[in-house]
Amino acid sequence: MAVHGASMEAAGPYDRARALSAFKLGDKTFYWTTRICAILVLVLLGGIIISLIVGAWPAISQYGFGFLTTSRWAPSADPPVLGALGPVYGTILTSLLAMIIAIPVGLGIAIFLTELCPLWARRPIGMAIELLAGIPSIIYGMWGFFILGPFLANTVQPFFINTFEGVPVLGSIFGGPPSYLSLFNASLILAIMVLPFITAISRDVFATVPPVLKEAAYGIGCTTWEVVRNVVIPYTRVGVIGGVMLALGRALGETMAVTFIIGNSFRISPSIFAPGTTISAAIASEFAESDGLHQSSLMLLGLLLFVLTFFVLAAARLMLMRLQKKAGS
């Protein structure tokens, strides 16, 4: 027995050393696997940027900064006259209109689900909202083209046109003949598409508010609106803004649904009921039949969209960092 115990004691340090060696090997493997994945993302991002710059270089050399300030798009002219002002204008306008529509609706649904909705209805309504994110964009485009577009042109657009006719500024914004294909129709489709992102993220962050904070507010006589405004939203504003910016990034890059219903016109009009185009819609509708300088200009549009989205998301990240720093101080 003494000999057996001595042999176990002698084997103990060796087993521990082998176990520690195995742990170190596992840690190194995990470290390098995750590091390679992170580096791979940067390499892919750099490859995309380089390929866009290479493809867009002929258009950059030909048009320079004037590409951003020219609204005419005539690839069949001799020489071609191509400018990005129309698509950039349409991209920014449709995204802003979509967010103006989607943010209050999405936050309202999230507040209802977390604060007012009966328990038995929360799960079905939440699942229905999340299912909107799973619908393919081309289905949204077809629905917008065949159903939503005619409905808006026959009911909603005439109401706004007649209401604001002759009113300065608003008469131009809501002017023009009704159209099945317009910037407003595309914005409404985008708002429906980004709604699940805002609602789902806002609902999740609203659920993280400690119940004791809301109970204390109710205990001193606050109404539900006062609790939401003074407790829930301030506590979760960083997460809410993050969800909004995620939705904005989706709106800026949406392609197929917008291509179906925006009209694909490069002309700039002050009316939101006029046809227009976006960067992604212009690329999708013309890239297959393009070549030479026309194709290079489309590549330059893709580079502009990449840069625009990058700066929007970077600005959102900086804003979130400032909010977090302010909250910490």
pLDDT band at 328 (very low <50, low <70, confident <90, very high): low
The answer, yes or no, to whether residue 327 has pLDDT greater than 80, is no
d(CA 174, CA 159): 10
Which residues, 6+ apart, have CB-to-CB distance to 285 below 8 Å?
Answer: 259, 264, 277
Residue 6: per-residue pLDDT: 47
For 132-171, write each residue's pLDDT tens digit: 888 999 999 999 999 999 999 999 999 999 999 989 999 9
| Structure confidence at residue 134 (pLDDT) | 86
**Integer Cα distance of 261 and 141 in angstroms:** 6
pLDDT of residue 231: 92
Q: Is the pLDDT of residue 7 over 90?
A: no
Beta-carbon-side half-sphere exposure of residue 96 (alpha carbons within 13 Å):
7
Q: How confident is the model at residue 131 (pLDDT cuts 50, 70, 90)?
A: confident
The residues pairing with 148 across neighbouring beta strands, listed in sequence order, are: none
For residue 34, what are its two tokens?
Answer: 């995750």
Q: Is the dihedral of CA 210, 213, 216, 222 positive or negative?
A: negative
Q: pLDDT band for position 119 (50/70/90)? A: confident
How far, CA to CA in Å, does 315 sit from each of 87, 234, 280, 319?
A: 22, 20, 21, 6
pLDDT of residue 8: 44
User: Among the listed ranges 7-16, 36-45, 213-222, which one has the minimum average pLDDT value?
Assistant: 7-16
Residue 317 pLDDT level (bands cut at 50, 70, 90): confident
Model pLDDT for residues 47-66, shown as the tens digit of each residue: 999 999 999 999 999 999 99
Across 79-106, average pLDDT: 94
Q: Which residue has the tokens 């099945």?
A: 180
Which tokens is 286 given? 């013309």
Per-residue pLDDT band for 12 (boundaries 50, 70, 90) equals low
Place of tokens 């115990």: 5
Structure tokens at 105: 């609706």
Mean pLDDT over residues 103-122, rounded?
A: 92
The residues, any chain, with a CB within 8 Å of residue 322's CB and separated by 6 or more, are none
- By residue count, the chain amounts to 329
Residue with tokens 């131009």: 172
Amino acid at 301: L
* Res 179 pLDDT > 50: yes
Residue 100 CA to residue 94 CA, distance in Å, equals 10
pLDDT recorded at residue 98: 96
Question: Within 10 A of 298 (CB to CB), how many other CB atoms are there?
Answer: 24
pLDDT at site 3 = 46
Chain-wide mean pLDDT for the chain? 89
Task: Tell which CATH architecture fits domain 65-328.
Answer: Orthogonal Bundle (1.10)
329: pLDDT confidence band, cut at 50, 70 and 90?
low
Domain residue spans in the chain?
65-328
Nearest to 86 by CA among 257, 279, 252: 279
Query: What's the N-to-C CA distance of the chain in angstroms?
Result: 65
Query: What is the identity of the amino acid at 43?
Result: V
